[in-house]
Amino acid sequence: MTTPKRPNIVVFLVDDMGWQDTSVPFHTETTPFNERYRTPNTERLADAGMKFTQAYACPVCSPSRVSLMTGQNAARHRVTNWTLFQNRATDAEHPTLAIPAWNVNGISPDVNVPFAVHARALPVRLRDLGYHTIHVGKAHLGAFGTPGADPRNLGFDVNIAGHAAGGPGSYLGTQDYSAAWRGGDRAWDVPGLEKYHGQDVFLTEALTREAIREVDVALQNDRPFFLYLSHYAVHIPFAEDERFFARYQDAALDHTEAMYAAMIEGMDRSLGDVLDHLEHRGISGETIILFMSDNGGLSAYGRGGAPHLHNLPLSSGKGSAREGGIRVPMMAHWPGITTPGSTCGAPVLIEDFFPTILELSGRPAPVEDEIDGVSFAPLLRGAQDSGKDRAFVWHYPNHWGHEGPGIGPFSAIREANWKLIYYHAGGVYELFDLDSDIGETTNLASDKPIIRNDLAARLRTRLEDVQAQMPVDKQTGAAVEMPR
């Protein structure tokens, strides 16, 4: 009996892309921001496959990326904030709370590395199934000086441009993708792209070229491939992508917004170039595409315009427990399976990618593993949401250092239409009915005490089950009480 060929799988991950940073509407109606951006290839992907209007990530990047690679919720894997240097936290000082000793070293295959989650990562499992595993772009999975800083130690056969830093030194080849141009820490320099140094090649384009080249290597070796194309875009520091910048400058956007919009379109061009190449090589019908952002858009502290407005109607942005910080654009195309142009309103969470990808590869995740994610493959097949009462949990016992609605430390839970946020400083609750108040404008915590208390109890149970870390009150020296 002939074993069916495993499908190729592409994860196209965008950094800091907000829910509306595309011409594809994920709301019930088209918004002014959807009209601002020109993204024909995200439209093309949505037309070919399924868009998810209630997809969620973590509020900042490293937790989302580790959840994708492990299938674990951040409360369990404890990489709750962004990572950088070995054994060093990245938290800002909080006035009343001491941040717990979270896993500042990220994910590590070496159990002797402290302050790290030790897990058998997704690419290891896929490589065991015969996949050629390709990492291109931002990694941000392990701290400098630890094995997890290099994606090849986590199961990738190839690593291009991925290391410990969570942003690029520069997007410009003429600046060697280095932070030296602004007197910045050279730790942010993008590695492995020396062939483009001195050339007028935007970072997004360089990564796309390398990804396409590696796809051809896999095809030459007659192996299915897993391509994790993880763009640095649209993370700061913004730069002018000259291929698209003039369009938005001519539209009278200010300089920062024009740079950002051009970077969005450059990301979209990358997606189109990958889709075109799959068609050119005759493999688009056997390649699954999954598209997502790693957290909400940059609006919690502004982006050159008025703060807190860039994700409207969602509240706040990156770093926040509000919808603008965690609700993200997501699309999927499983050729011959997903209904073209379909929409899924079922909530899904970033850790769901892990069991889903394994199921798509033909090898479901072992049930004995500590995996919090739930496969959304049935949704891709057109199943109605059978997990609408599933509780989604976010845990961020950290201090990001910016101000804005929903900024932590916090824990949060969503079940059905209700969402509860518990702020660790002061034990304050916010309760929102997302069906009637997607902008989280009305706190119902006092008006709906039964719902508030029920959700708080469920959140407490989930946090206790994974022994989630809580901050410590500086005045009393005691850990912050869990929600109740």
pLDDT of amino acid 368:
65
SS3 31: coil
Q: What is the mean pLDDT of the chain?
A: 94
Q: Cα angle vertex 319, ends 313, 320, to 5°?
A: 50
pLDDT of amino acid 386:
55
pLDDT tens, residue by residue, 78-132: 999 999 999 999 999 999 999 999 999 999 999 999 999 999 999 999 999 999 9
Question: Which domains occur in the chain, in start order?
Answer: 8-382 (3.40.720.10)
**Token representation of residue 93:** 């000082």
Cα 369 from chain centre? 22
**CA-based radius of gyration for the chain:** 21
Burial group, residue 435, by CB count within 10 angstroms (0-12, 13-18, 19+): exposed
Least confident of 224-228, 261-265, 327-331, 398-402: 398-402
pLDDT at position 305 over 80: no
pLDDT of amino acid 310:
79
pLDDT tens, residue by residue, 8-19: 999 999 999 999
pLDDT at position 455 over 60: yes
pLDDT of amino acid 388:
59
pLDDT at position 300 over 80: no
pLDDT of amino acid 304:
47
pLDDT at position 1 over 60: no
Report the C-alpha gap between 309 and 329 in whole angstroms. Answer: 17
pLDDT of amino acid 231:
98
Picking from 464, 480, 461, the residue whose alpha carbon sits closest to that of residue 472 is 480
Report the C-alpha gap between 14 and 234 in whole angstroms. Answer: 7
Confidence of residue 397 (pLDDT cuts 50, 70, 90): very high
Q: Cα angle vertex 373, ends 371, 60, to 5°?
A: 105
Average pLDDT estimate for 348-352: 98
